[in-house]
Amino acid sequence: MVGRRRALLFTLCFLFVSLPSLSSSSLPAFQTLVPNSHSLPSASPVSFQPDSESLLGSEFESGSDDSESSSITLNLDHIDALSSNKTPQELFSSRLQRDSRRVNSIATLAARVPRRNVTHAPRPGGFSSSVVSGLSQGSGEYFTRLGVGTPARYVYMVLDTGSDIVWLQCAPCRRCYSQSDPIFDPRKSRTYSTIPCSSPHCRRLDSAGCNTRRKTCLYQVSYGDGSFTVGDFSTETLTFRRNRVKGVALGCGHENEGLFVGAAGLLGLGKGKLSFPGQTGHRFNQKFSYCLVDRSASSKPSSVVFGNAAVSRTARFTPLLSNPKLDTFYYVELLGISVGGTRVPGVAASLFKLDQIGNGGVIIDSGTSVTRLIRPAYIAMRDAFRVGARTLKRAPDFSLFDTCFDLSNMNEVKVPTVVLHFRGADVSLPATNYLIPVDTNGKFCFAFAGTMGGLSIIGNIQQQGFRVVYDLATSRVGFAPRGCA
């Protein structure tokens, strides 16, 4: 009897130890892609109703304030939705150009010399033309609509996990780009207030200035695509669907230039203390999430959720890592990649390691479109995919994509599966998240690219369809498949 118990115990222990390998070997090798159901997305109408929302400005005076925690859900649209005069091909080409500039800027920022201090004394008298903020990584891809001031004036704002500062264009405007709504005038808001130069908020800015006459804080932010904003650093009330959030520190930009395509400014969702989540953690319990739809196959809007409702029960979580020299980005630990149901031998965890001084690593970014992997990992992954997709008809390279296929006149094809193995979370990508249309003639390309730098970036094409959960209270990020319902 004792012998049988020992044998049973040994068997259970063996199965327990073997579970990871059993799970890995049980990954499916192929999945189906239906090419005819996916095409280049066009500039579809936005999902907001600005006229009706603007009329509600005075009604929001009786809306709920930020005295207690709550959850808020907002629709998101891709920035291309505000470019109705361009063809799908032109939109896609512009998106890839923006993407390259953003990736280059993120890489430059991530490689910079570590900051020795967390605060910076404001420069008296403002800025010289050579002053560039550390937040130079690009101006984001998705936007929402929210109210600014009291009474609330509604504007489009870009949301970006790769930026910390919240800002918008303000009157009087010495230099402003064209936006869809009237420019916000702080003189007409009862809740607008400038920030003193001595304020902790002002000292947290990477690039702060001081108006010596008024003794008020100035800010400057430059982005990798050439966009910039300069103005007064201030506090204001933001309104999200009848919910007011008071005292948000934001930039009121009087000199602005850029490629924001109709948006009034930017709502920074980065990991830093001046980002919207960083400032309002008490209100939303340090939780937010978004789900980005595949615009080539769905007419549903993307969405962002702040608060406890942001956390999906089906999400699989991986710990967030801290970069000692940069607190804006969301770093995660990528252990490996499977293609066609098998771990790719050349993709080792050591390639993605964030070292002790903050170099290397992997970030999740909503504003980068195409996932970039450190080049040795990309080459190994790409070659494994090419082997698995060898029955498909190859097509010439396209832009940054070096693995393309001619899928014209094909109803469905079998493609190798792709799984990203994060610590604690295996993320199996739908075929539409890595084999995407690049023209209107049936050419599809493998939507990954290599980078010569040490930083890898998980982009928004690979995030499509997942609810990506940022649980900052427990320092983790999660992925819930089919999360846009």
* Residue appearing with tokens 């070997």: 25
Q: How many CB atoms lie within 10 A of CB 76?
A: 24
| Spatial distance between the Cα atoms of 483 and 464, rounded to a whole number of angstroms | 9
CB–CB of 339/418 below 8 Å? yes
**Three-state secondary-structure class, residue 361:** coil
Catalytic residue of the set 160, 206, 232, 471: 160
Catalytic residue of the set 99, 164, 232, 365: 365
- Chain length of the chain: 485
* Residue appearing with tokens 């400038």: 194
Distance of CA 394 to CAs 96, 227, 404, 451, Å?
21, 38, 6, 23
Catalytic residue list contains 65 = no
| Spatial distance between the Cα atoms of 322 and 306, rounded to a whole number of angstroms | 22
* Residue 360 Ramachandran class (φ > 0 left, ψ -120 to 50 alpha, else beta): left
* Residue appearing with tokens 């599966």: 417
* Residue appearing with tokens 């050579």: 130
Sheet with 394-395, edge to edge strand ranges: 394-395, 404-406, 443-446, 435-437
* Residue appearing with tokens 């090798």: 29
- Name residue 448's beta-bridge partners: 371
The token duo for 33 is 């892609």
Catalytic residue list contains 160 = yes
- Name residue 143's beta-bridge partners: 77, 158
| Spatial distance between the Cα atoms of 34 and 148, rounded to a whole number of angstroms | 43
Distance of CA 22 to CAs 19, 30, 75, Å?
5, 18, 40
CB–CB of 188/176 below 8 Å? no
Type of residue numbered 482: R
**Three-state secondary-structure class, residue 47:** coil
Query: What's the distance, CA 121 to chain centroid?
Result: 30
| Spatial distance between the Cα atoms of 444 and 38, rounded to a whole number of angstroms | 10
Q: Which residues are known catalytic residues?
A: 160, 365
